[in-house]
């Protein structure tokens, strides 16, 4: 056997099995060769120049070490070659091998590897990667035990490592009116607002004093108000795209992205508060931070999330997304009306139930399904029901919900319907309800100047067995303000 740049690692290990332990001990970087999956994917295809690049060692040194070990163990002298001058290691093209190389690069990054060195290694070994492949890689790393919080902490660095390759990919294409087209059009509108806000905040940051002039305060107030529209954009991802991805077995990247959404919401809120108090330095610093986070999110969406959804979703998935997005609404723009096209395959909404129909026997009386629905959607409350398996099976589709819901949440695990920072609280409530330790939990929050009362009730059957959790949210701002009594109907009272 000739040892040179093009010698396959797989053939080498089959001919000299003892080299596996030798290489793993020769350099800490080759410990990963003990991983059977890595050998089955990367090892099957890797040449010695690629192995040298993976281990960040010189090819000549690697070949010399292998030849020396073969001579020591077998007494056989192998012919040695090198790499052609200036030659680069050929890129992996096999999808599974490429993904393992990507994961290995990210593992090294999370262990503190140098970003520039890893970008060089990426360029030598992979050179081209799609957003869908990055998303799949992150999902597998989380499944293997890498904490979601750690992926989130370094996801911006991931994009930096792969930025040149991602830049080479055109933005995904979709027909006007298609949910993906609408989301990208919202991004284009967002970029215009970001550019205006950047100019004002940069001037504020470099201004002569700590105060905010009336003109800048008014302009920034309007721009910050416009930027809060991004919440609709995020809600469509959280309630429409993420549930569909979970159905396809992809949840890690969604959770990471949702956590970043919450960071953006918090930083934008902080910037608005600083503007209201006249703190120019804090408004500029926090505002510029939020703007950069939003710009980075546009890149992550259009280079990673959106290509992944195009690869995984079928037409039925997109029709479900379309129906749900109409309930949430749109940020900055109105979608084109051309999608979905009329014709076969279009999903029609189920017809409303008639006034009749079978009655459902209840503890006291009996109601039709239509009557139950009318009652639940007329109550001045948001109601959601989670069954004993933690699956969302119902929400009251009231005209103006406090917390938006779309059909995408039905059938979804309740843990995935909350931002990552709230999941521990949700789990704690459910555990206590299931164990019979508690029957109720309540919270109240200030939401855009309104006092919202949120209560969770454990539902138990006649035997006391846990059958699910009812969430009830109510805007109690008006209730809290009541004083005295009102005993007479005031419909005919003249306005004062």
What is the domain partition of the chain in residue ranges?
2-90, 179-328, 366-480
This prediction has a pTM of: 0.60
At a CB cut-off of 8 Å and minimum separation 6, what does 263 contact? 293
**The domain 2-90: what is its CATH number?**
1.10.3910.10
**Per-residue pLDDT tens digits of the chain, which is 496 residues long:** 677 777 878 878 888 888 888 888 887 777 777 777 666 666 566 777 777 776 777 777 777 788 878 878 888 887 776 555 445 555 555 566 666 666 777 777 667 777 667 666 666 556 566 666 777 777 777 777 777 676 666 566 666 666 666 666 677 888 999 999 999 999 999 999 999 999 999 888 776 566 678 888 899 999 999 999 999 999 999 989 999 998 888 877 787 888 889 999 999 999 999 999 888 889 999 999 999 999 989 988 988 889 889 888 999 899 989 988 888 889 999 888 878 875 444 443 333 444 556 888 887 788 888 888 888 888 889 999 999 999 999 998 887 788 878 888 888 899 888 888 888 999 999 999 999 999 999 999 998 889 999 999 999 988 899 999 999 999 999 999 998 888 777 776 655 5
At a CB cut-off of 8 Å and minimum separation 6, what does 40 contact? none
Give pLDDT, residue 428. 94
Give pLDDT, residue 435. 94
What SS3 class is residue 67?
helix
CATH architecture classification, 179-328: Up-down Bundle (1.20)
2-90 shares its CATH topology with 179-328: no
**How many Å apart are CA 276 and CA 270, to the nearest integer?**
10
- Residues facing 470 on adjacent strands: 385, 457
Residue keyed to tokens 């499944």: 143
Q: Which among 184, 161, 252, 234 is positioned nearest to 406, based on CA atoms?
A: 234
**How many Å apart are CA 100 and CA 274, to the nearest integer?**
46
CATH 3.40.50.720 for domain 366-480, yes or no, is no
What SS3 class is residue 137?
helix
Give pLDDT, residue 246. 87
Q: Which among 71, 92, 73, 115 is positioned nearest to 9, based on CA atoms?
A: 92
The tokens describing 401, both together, are: 């919900």
The tokens describing 123, both together, are: 């360029």
Are 327 and 263 in contact by the 8 Å Cβ rule? The answer is no
Q: Which residues of 44-69 are buried (b: 16+ CB within 10 A; e: fewer)?
A: bbbbbbbbbbbbebebeebbebbbeb
Residue keyed to tokens 């039925």: 316
């Amino acid at each position: 056997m000739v040892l040179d740049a093009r010698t396959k690692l797989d053939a080498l290990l089959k001919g000299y099995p003892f080299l596996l332990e030798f290489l793993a001990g020769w350099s800490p970087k080759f410990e990963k060769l003990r991983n059977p999956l890595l050998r089955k994917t990367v090892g099957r295809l890797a040449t010695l120049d690629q192995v040298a690049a993976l281990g960040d060692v010189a090819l000549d040194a690697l070949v010399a070490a292998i030849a020396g070990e073969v001579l020591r163990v077998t007494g056989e002298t192998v012919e040695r070659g090198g790499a052609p001058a200036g030659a680069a290691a050929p890129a992996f093209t096999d999808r599974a091998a490429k993904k393992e190389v990507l994961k290995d690069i990210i593992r090294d990054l999370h262990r503190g590897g140098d970003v520039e060195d890893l970008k060089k290694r990426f360029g030598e070994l992979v050179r081209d990667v799609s957003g869908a492949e990055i998303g799949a890689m992150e999902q597998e790393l989380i499944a293997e035990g890498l904490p979601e919080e750690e992926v989130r902490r370094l996801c911006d660095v991931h994009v930096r490592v792969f930025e040149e390759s991602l830049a080479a990919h055109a933005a995904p294409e979709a027909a006007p009116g298609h949910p993906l087209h609408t989301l990208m059009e919202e991004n284009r509108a967002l970029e215009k607002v970001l550019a205006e806000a950047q100019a004002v905040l940069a001037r504020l940051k470099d201004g002569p004093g700590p105060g905010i002039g009336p003109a800048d305060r008014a302009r920034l107030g309007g721009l910050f108000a416009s930027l809060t529209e991004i919440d609709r954009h995020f809600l469509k991802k959280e309630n429409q795209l993420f549930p569909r991805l979970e159905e396809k077995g992809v949840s890690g990247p969604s959770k990471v992205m949702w956590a970043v959404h919450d960071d953006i919401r918090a930083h934008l809120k902080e910037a608005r508060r600083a503007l209201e108090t006249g703190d120019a330095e804090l408004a500029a610093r926090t505002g510029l931070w939020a703007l950069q986070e939003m710009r980075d999110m546009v890149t992550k969406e259009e280079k990673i999330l959106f290509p992944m959804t195009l690869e995984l979703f079928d037409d039925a998935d997109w029709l479900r997304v379309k129906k749900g997005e109409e309930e949430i609404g749109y940020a900055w723009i109105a979608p084109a009306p051309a999608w979905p096209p009329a014709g076969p395959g279009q999903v029609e909404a189920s017809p409303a139930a008639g006034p009749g129909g079978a009655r459902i026997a209840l503890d006291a009386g009996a109601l039709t399904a239509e009557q139950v629905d009318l009652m639940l959607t007329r109550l001045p409350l948001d109601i959601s029901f989670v069954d004993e398996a933690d699956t969302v099976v119902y929400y009251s589709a009231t005209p103006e919900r406090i917390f938006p819901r779309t059909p995408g949440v039905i059938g979804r695990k309740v843990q995935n319907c909350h931002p990552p920072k709230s999941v521990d609280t949700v789990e704690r409530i459910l555990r206590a309800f299931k164990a019979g330790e508690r029957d109720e939990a309540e919270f109240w929050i200030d939401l855009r100047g309104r006092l919202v009362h949120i209560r969770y009730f454990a539902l138990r059957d006649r035997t006391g067995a846990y059958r699910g959790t009812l969430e009830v949210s109510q805007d109690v701002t008006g209730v809290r303000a009541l004083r005295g009594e009102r005993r007479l109907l005031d419909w005919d009272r003249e306005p004062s």
